[in-house]
Amino acid sequence: MFTKQFKKNKVIHITLLLFMILSAFLMTIGSFVILQTTSSMEQIFSVAKPPHFLQMHTGEIDQNKIQAFANRVDYVKAVETIEMVNIDGANIWYEKKGEEAVSLSESMLDNGFVKQTESFDYLLDLDNTIIKQEAGAIGVPIYYMEEYHMAIGDSITITKGDFTRTFIIKNFVRDSQMASSMASSVRFLLSDQDFEEIRENMGEVEYLIEFRLTDSSKASAVQKLYESSDMPVNGQGITYVMIKLVNSLASGLLAGAMIIISIILILIAAFNLRFTILAVLEEEIREIGAMKAIGISNKDINSMYRKKYRMLAAIGCGIGYMIGLFANKGFTKSIRMMLGERDLGVNAILISMVSVLFVYWFMMHLCKKILKRINTITVVQALVYGETGSKKKKTSRRRYAMEKHCKSHVNAYLSIKNLLEKRKAWLLIVVVFFLATNVMLVPMNLIHTVSDVRFANNMGNANCDLWMELQTKDHIEENCEQLVGTLEQDANIQNYSVFSTNKYETIGEDGKETIQVQWGEYSDFPIKCMKGTTPKQDGEIALSYLNQEKLGKTVGDVLLITIDGKQEEYKVTGIYQDMTSGGYTAKAFGTLKGNMVQNYTIYANCEKGTTAQEVAKQYSQKFSFMKVLPMEKMTTQTFGSILASFDKAAYVSIVVALCIGALITVLFLKLQSAKEYAEMATLRVLGFSLQDIRKQYLIKGLLASLIGIGLGILWCNTGCEYLVSGILSIADVGLAEFEFIVNPIYNFVICPVILLVVALGVTDCCAREGKKYEVIKMLQE
Amino acid sequence: MSKILEAKQIYKEFGQENKVTVLKGIDMEVEQGEYVVIMGQSGSGKSTLLYNISGMDKMTSGKVIFDGEDISALDDEKMSQLRLRKMGFIFQHSYLLKNMSLKDNIMLPAMKAKKCNKGEIREKVDTLMKDLHIDEVADHEINQVSGGQMQRTAIGRALINEPKILYGDEPTGALNASTTKEVMDILNSINQKGMTIVLVTHDAKVAARADRIIYLQDGEIVSSQHLGKYRKEEEKNREDMTSAWLQKLGF
């Protein structure tokens, strides 16, 4: 009986098996990813000893003051101040043996050059040993090794004006602080003497004031104490939790995604299993009735069917697990590269086995539940009526009478009638295509939105053609003057505005806080505000969304800012969204207050007929002290790596969504056609042709999928934005209101057409299966 | 009278490797307005013959001419149209559609065939249901009526498009004696109005209502009995004659 079943429903059983294999495979891989991340991270942290609290600072420091602070605070076990020379990518050239040199100017990463630390926060090589750098040698971050396919023996040249220095790549650096590809900074390692030479001739020094604590959980407390103790704070403060997060985020997301997909696949396999079993019961109900009639117990009948699915589940989970065991190295390659190799031992095998056993148990549990209905079927029900004991339906009120509702097209009438009477069942198709529409639209909408130049508004930037930034501290004022002079004379530039940024002290809800303020005149380059407006006169300030929450201020409130020792009042005129600088920024009207400037930002518009790309290139080549980008490239550069992987994931999701949509439709229609077999046979006898039957299924498939797709499009363009906004505001990334910038042709034409083609194609294939049966065979069966 | 059905050298085989020949070169003709019953022992091939001459099953070889048209090689679309417009079928089970009233069940083939407009269809259905004594349960669903009412509905459904021939496979097989008699009276009544009927039955009393009985044995027609048109007063006589004849044949 079972071989016959397998042969008859080969496709369904193979599909069921495939889904089980995939679920088990992904569960295994997900487990390995998590285990590899945690154990590799544990290993690298134990050798490298990353700081528990780190404060970046640009400017003068008093090492004695720092030491005094460290001595004062009980939790501090060790303190170290690391000097880091930041060099722009345009001044760094990589040369492969026998090839032309390329600069690292296209990289958005901040490139810091350091020497090996003394007591903790060590930079390691690929064997996770602490590097002792030789003179003339350089250790290059793993990120660049992968990006540019660098090899030992290649060279890195640093240039600035007349100064040039070439180093040979002797090792690749594993950095416990900046191990992830999502970190925005990387560190190159030089020998002590080479570092001194670079420091004298290149860039500006930034300090990393680092602390190791007796208890890492006290990092936030130490940070608060530090910030309130008049310590050097001209930069970002980072705690151990953030370091761990940055290191584990990418792989955490990967593992999380795999496990979620595995769970989704388990659910789909569960659907598949349910449909398969129900269809088999429908087809074999008379055989089951006969078995009951001759005295075979419910338990034995159940056991016969369960055996088959137990075998399928065991084979599926077993194969999936074995493939996962062998393939996991591929998925953990990036983690092992970034964090180091660590043998996972027997634990990994056991833990992954447990996760797969969960998949097996779930399938068996479901199988048992569905097959329980065999117990409720009586012999008469099975043999005489061919009923499978599904829940008793209420006696339907006679609706949709033919006299009243059938206009002329009998096929359409029968289809719609069937759809309405069995709406609970057909709801599945509606839901499947609703979800498929979401999967097709949401990631693409997100990518389209983030890639769009208008998204720059969410980065605290104005709408403009060009974005320029001067961060190099040396001669920043002169550089800015030089740049402004050029902009003024440049016929390609229509208009521009200069904005300067610095950090100040303010009073928040929890006491003193540091606030980063950008000063300028916003009339030509206004910021899009969620609430209120851009500041228009002296004494006005707009806050970022996160700063609004942190400082407890909103539009109309007054903010006190300490400038050169004096508290000044600023009226909050607007709240805007900003994902940069952790989301904590502010924009005030006027010229820079205070002595020091942290950076200059210039927005500019190009004259008509000039492309921003060309102008940006010219300025990039002319001025090495700044970054310049066409605004349309701003977001793609900033989110480049995330967009690239998200892009791939989006296309894969689309294919997966279509395949799943098609599969579930096939399974559903198979079940429906099994249930409606007798009805179809009757219609055939009455004179309905195979074409008529096919048309009825197509109409039902079209209507159900159309409703799902329509609802999906409606949701994606309305409610979904609120959901994404909610998630983003919980995630604290600086966004509270999110608006999709959609591609209308994709959203309203391409996507629905593709889904409809899939729905109808699959329905048609299933409907054509009716050709196998001759009328009399259908009646006899 | 003209022939409405001609079957020539019908062969039907089943199975791939161990072939079983169920019909062995059957020749038969049915005149327009004739009432023919096919009888035989279990496994003689009587239902197979019915399905092959009605186009419900594909014969292995042979020819069937129905109403002047060779139906042996018709495609599904044309055969479906034939079933819809020119043939009616009744079976042992009524095969009525669930979630539809008795009236809608009868109306369905008429709406599909569109031989007349909706109003005319409605009238025809009402008349037919009255004639079949099921007009009072017209709006009932199939789980609310008796087996006899269901079978009468099936007859109404088979007749609504005024077919040229009515085929039946053991139409009284699931009915009790009195309901059987009701159904047989209806069939005789419609035959008297000119409907050609070809039935399969194992019931001698049912067979006795026919104009002619064909007896099948091992896939061949071995005998036939002409009884002439049914008259109520001759019922007992016809039954006796039929029983005696069948006994001789070993039925």
B201 touches chain A (CB under 8 A): no
> Mean pLDDT across chain A, nearest whole number?
83
Question: What 3-state class would DSSP assign to A45?
Answer: helix
Three-state secondary structure of A107-141 = CCCEEEEEECCCCCCCEECCCCCECCCCCCEEEEE
In the three-class reduction of DSSP (H, G, I as helix; E, B as strand; rest coil), residue A51 is classed as coil
The minimal CB distance from A688 to the residues B57, B82, B112 is found for B112
**Mean pLDDT of the A567-573 span:** 93
Query: Is A682 near chain B, with CB under 8 Å?
Result: yes
CB contact (8 A) between residue B56 and residue A685: yes
- The predicted-structure confidence for B47-58, as pLDDT tens digits, reads as follows 999 999 999 888
B161: nearest CA in chain A? A686
Higher pLDDT, A387 or B3: B3
List A residues 395-424 in contact with B (Cβ-Cβ < 8 A): 395-396, 398, 401-403, 406, 408, 410, 413, 417, 421
B167 touches chain A (CB under 8 A): no
> pLDDT confidence of A767, banded at 50, 70, 90?
confident
- Looking at residue A135, its pLDDT comes to 94
pLDDT reported for residue B219:
92
**What ipTM was reported for this prediction?**
0.92
Query: How far does A708 lie from chain B, in Å, by closest CA?
Result: 26
Q: What share of chain A is helix, strand, coil (3-state, %, to 5)?
A: 55, 20, 25
CA distance A546 to A548: 5
Mean pLDDT of A772-777: 64
Residue of B nearest to A400 (CA): B100
CB A468 within 8 A of CB A634: no
- Confidence tier at A645 by pLDDT (50, 70, 90): low
The more confident residue out of A457 and B19 is: B19
CA distance, residue B56 to nearest chain A CA (Å): 6
In whole angstroms, give the CA distance from residue B113 to residue B37.
28
**CA–CA separation, A551 and A591 (whole Å):** 23
pLDDT surpasses 60 at A392: no
* Per-residue confidence (pLDDT) for residue A4, from 0 to 100: 64
pLDDT at A179: 59
What residues have CB less than 8 Å from A200, skipping those under 6 apart? none
Element housing A563 (H / E)? strand A558-563
Percent of chain B scored above 90 by pLDDT? 73
- Give the pLDDT mean for A459-486: 82
Candidates A419, A768, A776, partner chain B, best to mutate (most B CBs within 10 A): A776
Query: What confidence score (pLDDT) does residue A526 get?
Result: 86
- As a whole number, mean pLDDT of residues B13-18 equals 84
pLDDT beyond 70 at A639:
no
Please state, for a pLDDT cut of 70, what percent of chain B lies above it.
100
Cβ of residue A693 closer than 8 Å to a chain B Cβ = no
Least confident range from A227-231, A236-240, A256-260, A613-617: namely A256-260
Report the pLDDT value the prediction gives residue A6, as an integer from 0 to 100: 67
Task: For residue B37, give both structure tokens.
Answer: 């019953």
DSSP string, B180-237: HHHHHHHHHHHHHTT-EEEEE-S-HHHHTTSSEEEEEETTEEEEEEE--S--GGGHHH
Q: Does B123 touch chain A (CB under 8 A)?
A: no
Distance CA A596, CA A448 (A): 39
CB contact under 8 Å between A688 and B84, yes or no, is yes
DSSP-derived secondary structure for A296-344: --HHHHHHHHHHHHHHHHHHHHHHHHHHHHHHHHHHHHHHHHHH-----
pTM: 0.72
Mean pLDDT of B212-220: 94
Single out the residue of A675, A676, A699, A651 nearest to residue A429, CA to CA: A699
Residue of A nearest to B47 (CA): A776
pLDDT at A411 over 50: yes
Of the ranges A355-364, A458-467, B73-82, which one carries the lowest mean pLDDT score? A458-467
Contact A403 B122 (CB under 8 A): yes
Look at residue A733 in the predicted model and tell me its pLDDT: 59
β-pairing verdict for B3-14 and A511-520: unpaired
Instruction: From chain A, pick out residues whose CB is under 8 angstroms from the CB of B91.
Output: 779
Binary contact (B141, A681; C-beta < 8 A) = no
- Nearest chain A CA: its distance from B32 CA (Å): 22
Separation between Cα atoms, residue A608 and residue A606, nearest integer Å: 6
Q: How far is B153 from chain A (nearest CA, A)?
A: 13
Q: What mean pLDDT is reported for chain B?
A: 92
- Whose tokens are 């609310």? That residue is B144
Confidence of residue A287 (pLDDT cuts 50, 70, 90): confident
> Which residue on chain B is closest to A412 by alpha carbon?
B112
Contact across the interface for B77 and A682, Cβ inside 8 Å = no
Query: Best-predicted range by mean pLDDT among A249-258, A398-407, B38-47?
Result: B38-47
Read off the pLDDT band of A395 (50, 70, 90): very low
Residue among A403, A687, A776 whose CB faces B80 most closely: A687
Residue A753 CA: distances (Å) to CA of A408, A694, A709, A745, B231 = 28, 21, 10, 11, 67
- Of residues B83, B100, B112, nearest to A410 (C-beta): B112
Give yes or no for residue A548 having a pLDDT over 60. yes
Residue of A nearest to B81 (CA): A687
B162 in contact with A at a CB cutoff of 8 Å? no
Q: Which residue has the higher pLDDT, A254 or A15?
A: A15
Q: Is residue B75 less than 8 Å (CB to CB) from chain A? A: no
- Note whether B80 contacts A688, CB cutoff 8 Å: yes
Interface test with B, best of A411, A423, A686, A780 (most B CBs within 10 A): A686
Which chain A residues are Cβ-neighbours of B114 within 8 angstroms?
A: 408
What share of chain A has pLDDT > 90, as a percent? 30
> In the beta sheet, which residues pair with residue A520?
A589
Q: Half-sphere exposure of B178 toward its Cβ, with a 13 Å CA cutoff?
A: 2
Interface contact flag, A396 B99, Cβ < 8 Å = yes
Stretch A41-57: mean pLDDT: 88
Whether the predicted pLDDT of A10 surpasses 80: no
Counting beta carbons within 10 angstroms of the beta carbon of residue A384, is it exposed (0 to 12), middle (13 to 18) or buried (19 or more)? exposed
Instruction: State residue A640's pLDDT score.
Output: 60
> 38-57 in B: which are within 8 Å (CB) of A?
51, 56-57
A736 or A93, greater pLDDT:
A93
B89 contacts on A by Cβ (under 8 Å): 685-686
- Show the tokens assigned to A244: 């761990």
| Residue found by looking up tokens 């000893």 in the block | A49
CB contact under 8 A, B80 and A689: yes
CA of B99 vs chain A CAs: smallest distance (Å): 7
Mutate to test the interface with A, among B58, B99, B129 (most CBs of A within 10 A): B99
User: Given A406, A417, A775, which is nearest B56 (Cβ)?
Assistant: A775
* b/e map A48-74, b = 16+ CB within 10 Å: bbbbbbbbbbbeebeeeebeebbeebe
Residue A341 touches partner B, C-beta closer than 8 Å? no
pLDDT digits (tens, 9 = 90+) for B90-120: 998 888 998 899 999 999 999 999 888 888 9
pLDDT in tens, A692-729: 999 999 999 999 999 999 999 999 888 888 877 777 66
Q: Is the pLDDT of residue B126 over 90?
A: yes
What distances in angstroms separate CA A498 from CA A206, A459, A584, A777, one per listed residue? 24, 17, 20, 84
Residues of B in contact with A417 (CB under 8 A): 99
Give A105-144 pLDDT, tens digit per residue: 777 678 899 999 999 999 999 998 999 999 999 999 988 8
Q: Which residue is it, tokens 């036939």?
A: B224
Q: Is the pLDDT of residue A180 over 60?
A: no
Which of the residue ranges A85-89, A599-603, A623-627 would you say has the lowest mean pLDDT? A623-627
- What would the two tokens of residue A31 be? 């487990």
How many other β-carbons are positioned within 10 Å of the β-carbon of residue A773? 16
Query: What are the angstrom distances between the C-alpha of A606 and each of A615, A629, B29?
Result: 8, 13, 94
CB under 8 Å to A744, separation ≥6 — which residues? none
pLDDT(A265) > 80:
no
Do A467 and A628 meet the contact criterion of CB atoms below 8 Å apart? yes
Answer yes or no: are the C-beta atoms of A174 and A338 closer than 8 Å.
yes
Tell me what the mean pLDDT of segment B148-172 comes to: 94
Number of A to B CB contacts under 8 A, please give it.
83
Task: Suggest the residue from B71, B112, B115 to mutate for an interface test with chain A (most A CBs closer than 10 A).
Answer: B112
Q: What single DSSP character describes residue A595?
A: S
Output the CA–CA distances (angstroms, integers) from residue A634 to A451, A597, A703, A737, in the order listed.
Answer: 9, 23, 43, 20
**What is the chain B residue with the closest CA to A385?**
B93
- Nearest CA distance, B218 vs chain A (angstrom): 21
CA distances from A356 to A109, A211, A256, A360, A369 (A): 40, 42, 16, 6, 20
In this prediction, residue B16 has a pLDDT band, given cuts at 50, 70 and 90, of confident
Query: Which residue, chain included where needed, has tokens 């539009």?
Result: A555
Of B81, B95, B98, the CB nearest to A687: B81
Q: Which of A398, A406, A683 sits opposite B139 (nearest CB)?
A: A398
Contact A776 B57 (CB under 8 A): yes
Instruction: State the Cα–Cα distance between residues A68 and A647, nearest whole angstrom.
Output: 50
| CA–CA separation, A362 and A274 (whole Å) | 12
Contact A395/B100, CB-based, under 8 Å? no
Q: Is A688 on the interface with B (CB under 8 A)?
A: yes
Residue A543 or residue A582, greater confidence: A543
